[in-house]
């Protein structure tokens, strides 16, 4: 068995993959092709993606989609509906208006934001289980950017396991998913470093020791827009239409599935640090680290991974 790695830039980020297999180079090449196909399916920033076909037909007709896309929209809607959730996959009109992280990023007017807030109710997404079709009400659009990378990582690992790959790591722009044993080590755990944001007073990173786990981190420092001396980050509050106001710099979720990490980093980002940890402690299957400027908060079960 041989270890091999591959790096590619897709989905607006750098993706690193490393696997152990008898023919790892061939499999990694196949992984890159799969990633390209997933990008064409899930992207909210490509006019030719399958998701964009749904958005462009909002208010006009149902669009049949691939089962993978349908299931992620279904999952995203489920977690967008709770009143206390900061995840909203119908937030597309707002993220496109701000477009933070892109060259045409701007601060929308209050009038525009007020108008767009009327279009982002996730109940405006209608799903037909029978033919796997999606209908959006007029003016709505779906943005799966908060979930797609984790969902894709899970699909990739499931596919690799079907091809008898027993160990590997997929890092989609900081969203890390590991399985099996790490390479060239006399241990069965991977060491994943959780970086501390520059704004935090404590600079010491956390080192998680994990196996068959996902580590997803979301932070206000990732993508920003500076306008007239004001800094706007990319995490939009679906209730106000503006970037969330929070004392939290970053939130890391440890889970079995990467999409679970994506769901909960987004659902929680907007709450106070203490509220985040309380909800993590009451949610089965996840652990977390919350970092503010002055403190770090750990969930009850995270310590066994440190």
Report which secondary-structure segment, H or E, holds 291: strand 286-292
Beta strands 213-219 and 206-210 are unpaired
Residue 115: in which H helix or E strand, if any? helix 110-116
Contacts 24+ apart (CB under 8 A), 223-232: 223/100, 223/101, 224/100, 225/98, 225/100, 225/105, 225/106, 225/107, 227/106, 227/107, 230/107, 232/98, 232/100, 232/107
Q: What pLDDT digit, counting tens, does each position of 104-123 carry? A: 999 999 999 999 999 999 99
**SS3 of residue 21 by DSSP:** strand
48/109 Cα distance (integer angstroms):
29
In a domain, 64, yes or no: no
The CA–CA distances, whole Å, from 56 to 135, 137, 248 equal 11, 11, 35
CA dist 132 and 124 (Å) reads 16
Quickly tell me which residue has 């706007």 as its tokens.
232
Q: Closest Cα to residue 94, out of 77, 75, 114, 74? A: 114
Any binding-site annotation on 226?
Answer: no
Q: How far apart are CA 146 and CA 216, in angstroms?
A: 11
What integer pLDDT is reported at residue 114 of this predicted model?
Answer: 97
149 contacts 258 by C-beta, under 8 angstroms: yes
Each residue's pLDDT tens digit, 147-185: 999 999 999 999 999 999 999 999 998 899 999 999 977
Cα separation, 286 vs 301, in Å, equals: 9
Are the C-beta atoms of residues 291 and 249 closer than 8 Å to each other? yes
> Cβ of 29: how many Cβ atoms within 10 Å?
12
Q: Band of the pLDDT at 277, cuts 50, 70, 90? A: very high
- The answer to the question of residue 254 being in a domain is yes
Q: How confident is the model at residue 7 (pLDDT cuts 50, 70, 90)?
A: very high
Does the residue 210 lie in any domain? yes
| In contact, 136 and 54? CB cutoff 8 Å | yes
- CATH code for the domain in which residue 187 is found: 3.10.520.10
The answer on whether 266 is annotated among ligand-binding residues is yes
144 lies in some domain: no
Which helix H or strand E contains 208, and what residues bound it?
strand 206-210
* Model confidence pLDDT, tens digit, residues 40-72: 999 988 999 999 999 999 999 999 999 999 999
Residue 184's pLDDT is: 75
How many structural domains comprise the chain? 1
Residue 102 lies in a domain: no
Range of the domain at 258: 2-22+167-305
Is residue 290 within 8 A of residue 248, CB to CB? The reply is: yes
Checking if the pLDDT of 201 tops 90, the result is no
Average pLDDT over residues 295-304: 97
What distance in Å separates the CA atoms of residue 152 and residue 38, rounded to the nearest whole number? 7
The residue to which tokens 């004001």 are assigned: 230
* Residue 262, both tokens: 């994506």
192 and 157 Cβ atoms separated by less than 8 Å:
no
pLDDT beyond 90 at 291: yes
Cα–Cα dist 86/74, whole Å:
17
SS3 69: helix
Within a domain: 84: no
């Amino acid at each position: 068995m041989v270890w091999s790695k591959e790096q590619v830039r897709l989905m607006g980020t750098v993706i690193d993959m490393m696997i152990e297999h008898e023919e790892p180079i061939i499999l990694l090449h196949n992984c890159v092709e799969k990633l390209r196909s997933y990008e064409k399916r899930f992207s909210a920033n490509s006019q030719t993606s399958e998701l964009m076909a749904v958005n462009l037909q909002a208010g006009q007709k149902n669009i049949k989609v691939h089962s993978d896309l349908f299931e992620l929209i279904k999952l995203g809607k489920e977690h967008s509906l709770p009143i206390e959730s900061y995840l909203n996959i119908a937030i597309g009109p707002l993220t496109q208006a701000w477009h933070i992280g892109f060259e045409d990023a701007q601060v929308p007017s209050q009038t525009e934001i007020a108008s767009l807030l009327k279009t982002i109710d996730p109940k405006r997404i209608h799903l037909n289980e029978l033919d796997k079709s999606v209908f959006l009400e007029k003016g709505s659009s779906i943005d799966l950017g908060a979930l797609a990378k984790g969902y894709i990582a899970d699909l990739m690992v499931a596919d690799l396991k079907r091809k008898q790959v027993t160990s590997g790591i997929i890092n989609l722009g900081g969203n890390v998913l590991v399985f099996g044993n790490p390479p060239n080590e006399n241990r069965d755990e991977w060491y994943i470093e959780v970086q501390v944001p520059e704004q935090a007073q404590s600079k010491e990173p956390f080192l998680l020791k994990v196996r068959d786990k996902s580590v997803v981190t979301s932070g206000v420092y990732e993508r920003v827009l500076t306008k007239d001396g004001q800094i706007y980050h990319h995490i939009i509050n679906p209730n106000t239409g503006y970037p969330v106001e929070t004392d939290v710099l970053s939130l890391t979720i440890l889970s079995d599935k990467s999409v679970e990490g994506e769901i909960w980093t987004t659902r929680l980002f907007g709450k106070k640090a203490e509220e985040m940890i309380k909800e993590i402690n009451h949610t089965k299957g996840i652990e977390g680290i919350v970092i503010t400027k002055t403190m770090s908060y750990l969930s009850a079960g995270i310590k066994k991974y440190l």
